[in-house]
Chains A and B, each alone.
Chain A
Amino acid sequence: MVASLLSVAPSGIPEPFLRAESTAGKFFLMFFAVAFFAAVFGLVLFLASLLKGKRGEQGQGMLFAAPAVLLLAVGLLYPAVLTIIQSLRGKSGDGAFSFENYSAMFSQPELLTVLRNTALWVILVPFLATAIGLLYAILIDRARGEAFAKALIFLPMAISMVGASIIWKFVYQYKQTERPQIGLLNQLFKLVGLETQQFLLEAPLNTLMLIIVMVWIQAGFAMTVLSAAIKAIPDDIIEAARLDGVSGFRMFRYITLPSIRAAVVVVLTTIGIGTLKVFDIVRTMTGGQFDTSVVANEFYNQSFRYNAPGLGAALAVLLFVLVIPIVAYNIVQMRKEA
């Protein structure tokens, strides 16, 4: 987007600066962008100040929304429409209109595997990550060393997906049983006298092995949010429940869980959306080989490697359609709570 905006910039500015290839060019581009932003902002404020009265207030509202709406239209709406059109125009994305790509998606065996994998991911990751995070949050709540325990499980969040994938690739590393092991997991297998396993090769076990990585990353996020929510439950409710003789699991079921329901929903849906779009882990660890591909990964492969941008676009549209209900549910929930 930025690039296309800049290509229409005044031709007086030397091109190397706009392509930001030198350090000076990068700084120039940064200042240019900041100045451009300030100018637009100033213009909006100035125009708004001209509008007066009740109708003027309405106009002001529209004016303030205009830059954002414009950017959304250019950066989000326009590409989305293009993608949908492309998905309907055959494998190459520029042929005759047809539903070929969508029927291929639901009939080609290798693409069906992709859909199955995505379903596995979306079902398992949010629930496992949230369950583990919640359990952990409750266990360490008000315990000694709580901060340290929290930091421990939150740390994976600080690692990028690619970084985490590389770490776990080492954990799963395979060597023949009689050879020295590099992989932690296979070393453990060897210690208890089992044959070493090729975890990333056997479907569908390999997808589960990848899911573990995502859960490992996301559990910390779930734990942090849920722990904060638990702490926000007013003491008097808990006190009252205690006086009524509620404790243990019943306390969790009837007091804690209902009180943090909104936070749980947000955590589930946020992780759910992130999981639908998972790409980095699959690409780094298996490259989508061995029947581990998911929709986002396949969309990339079809578009950029197999020269089938139409099919890629169809997969992107599918992803979009799958995310919509989750986002909608999320918004409805927030509205209800508000």
Chain B
Amino acid sequence: MAHKSPRRTAKVLATLAVVSLGLAACGSSSDDGDSGSGDSAATKIDCAPYEKFGDLKGKEVSVYTTIVAPEDGPHIASYKPFEDCTGVKIKYEGSREMEAQISVRVKGGNAPDIAYLPQPGLLKTLVATGKVIPAPPETEANVDANMPDWKTYGTVDGKFYAAPLGANVKSFVWYSPTAFKDKGYEIPKTWDELLALTDKIATDNPEAKPWCAGIESGDATGWPATDWVEDVMLRTAGAETYDKWVNHEIPFNDPAVATALAEVGKILKNPKYVNGGYGDVKTIASTSFQDAGQPILDGTCFMHRQASFYAANWPEGTNVAEDGDIWAFYLPAKDETTKPVLGAGEVTAAFRDAPEVKAFQTYLASTEWAVERAKTCGTGGCLTANVNVDPTLLKNPIDNLSATMLTDKNATFRFDGSDLMPGAVGAGTFWKGMVNWITGENDKATLDYIENSWPKS
């Protein structure tokens, strides 16, 4: 009893379905961020260090980074002196999906020449593929001279691969100096003072909340919460236990970690303390990290813990200064005798063995580059791992403050732990675990979940 038409439709449809399903698998994206601004009167640098790599005129080096507009412009501008010296053209490509895409590209034989890896843990994963080229001796010499303490973050199994590049300091609490002055609040000097201030703000201001937070960040959702845990872990457990935790010498669900998480929970999971300007605790999970601190401006929130690079997120015209609309204080330690500082940065891994790539790696590790970076800096966030740069060159006051914190002899610096852990944890289950923790999972289940995901070797 078949009718002609349905049958025909059926066949056509089946064909269509197959074709469309097949097509669904395709897709590619690559934007050439070729917007190198040539307006800055290029600084002349000494070209001698690059001459020994031979004649590089007309050669190209591709760079793949997480840094996208508007922050990519200043980066591209900082390559100018090198390009002028050597005649090498730097091809810049920034993508928010870089952290996930880089492995795909490396495995697929389509690796960039140089990638700015925001996590040393990712470098470890990529080195395991055997595609990362060790840094040349010239680069290593620059690193030894300019950023000796950070060399370890570019080293895997005793071999030096990647020079550190940018740096940032994470132990900051953003606040409004004017609001604090109006209400008579003092900058807390110890962790207990911070908790006391938090409670005071909550009682004084029923219309606002003391803290605002947001951990939504696309593919990387969850990372701001891992920073919270790391920062507090440094304070409650100390740097040595912190190192053991990062290296998995103690399990992820160790009591020391549980203590730190509980301490974070006192703030982030207390509906009286969060989430200023956005709603209840769960809104932290869906608020983007860029938006998260903004309620400080309208007074619905008083404090926001975020790294130095958050400076770039304030609207244009905001006076970011110690006596201005917005400023940041150091996330206090247990007492005033210790000063742990959490920070992070990128490292530059190379995937092509060629003189022009080596020359560029060497340039990026040089003081000339770090100075040029400070000079061509746009909205801030131009701090580098290089300790030989005069901090006064950094025009952004927060960059400046961060630079002094990084070089402070009394401070105990530690690199962002999740960035050092294996990618599957540090850029995977730690993030995801924290998202679930915010949306209701308890402390123990969260830590057990992350511990179970740690790669067994």
Contact = CB atoms under 8 A, between A and B. Distances in A.
Interface in B12-34: 13-14, 17, 21, 24
A185 B438 CA distance: 24
Nearest to B7: A337
A337 B2 contact: yes
Contact of A225 (B9, B449, B455): B9
Given A198-B282, A304-B100, A338 B435 contact: no
B380 interface: no
A201 B435 CA distance: 11
Contacts of B453: 306
Given A225-B9, A270-B13, A304-B100, A91 B21 contact: no
Interface residues of B, number: 42
11 contacts: A258-B1, A259-B3, A262-B2, A263-B6, A263-B10, A266-B10, A301-B428, A305-B219, A305-B427, A306-B424, A308-B424
Nearest to B17: A270
The 5 closest A-B pairs by CB, nearest first: A232-B5, A306-B428, A307-B424, A262-B6, A270-B17
A234 interface: yes
Given A175-B279, A266-B10, 12 more contacts: A200-B286, A201-B285, A232-B4, A263-B6, A266-B9, A270-B17, A277-B21, A277-B24, A289-B435, A306-B429, A307-B423, A337-B7
B66 interface: no
Contacts of A290: 285, 435, 439
Most buried by B among A176, A225, A233, A266: A266
A263 B9 contact: yes
Most-contacted residue by chain A among B6, B11, B455 (CB, 10 A): B6
B219 to A, nearest CB: 7
B3 A307 contact: no
B74 interface: no
Nearest to A280: B24
B6 A287 contact: no
B153 to A, nearest CB: 19
A50 B285 CA distance: 69
Contacts of A260: 6
Contacts of A3: 109-110
In this complex, the member of A175, A267, A289 whose beta carbon has the largest number of chain B beta carbons within 10 angstroms is A289
B218 interface: yes
Contacts of A338: 2, 7
Interface string B91-134: 00000000010011000011000000000000001000000000
B218 A289 contact: no
A266 B7 CA distance: 10
Contacts, number: 107
Contact of B7 (A225, A234, A262, A307): A262
A36 to B, nearest CB: 19
A57 interface: no
Interface of B: 1-7, 9-11, 13-14, 17, 21, 24, 100, 103-104, 109-110, 125, 218-219, 221, 278-279, 282-283, 285-286, 422-424, 427-429, 432, 435, 439, 449, 453, 455
Interface residues of A, number: 43
A120 interface: no
Contact of A307 (B4, B219, B221, B422): B422
B9 A228 contact: yes
B3 A266 contact: no
Contact of A289 (B1, B24, B221): B221
Contacts of B427: 305
A334 interface: yes
B274 to A, nearest CB: 13
Contact of B5 (A200, A229, A306, A307): A229
Contact of B17 (A91, A233, A273, A301): A273
B124 to A, nearest CB: 10
A305 B3 CA distance: 50
Contacts of A266: 9-10, 13-14
Contact of A174 (B10, B110, B286): B286
A263 to B, nearest CB: 5
A154 B279 CA distance: 38
A228 to B, nearest CB: 6
Interface in A256-289: 258-263, 265-267, 270, 273-274, 277, 287, 289
A181 interface: no
A262 B453 CA distance: 47
Contact of B286 (A201, A259, A265, A274): A201
Contacts of B3: 232-234, 259
A265 B7 CA distance: 11
Contacts of B278: 176
Contacts of B109: 3
A335 B125 CA distance: 50
B316 to A, nearest CB: 23
A274 B125 contact: no
B5 A201 contact: no
B9 A307 contact: no
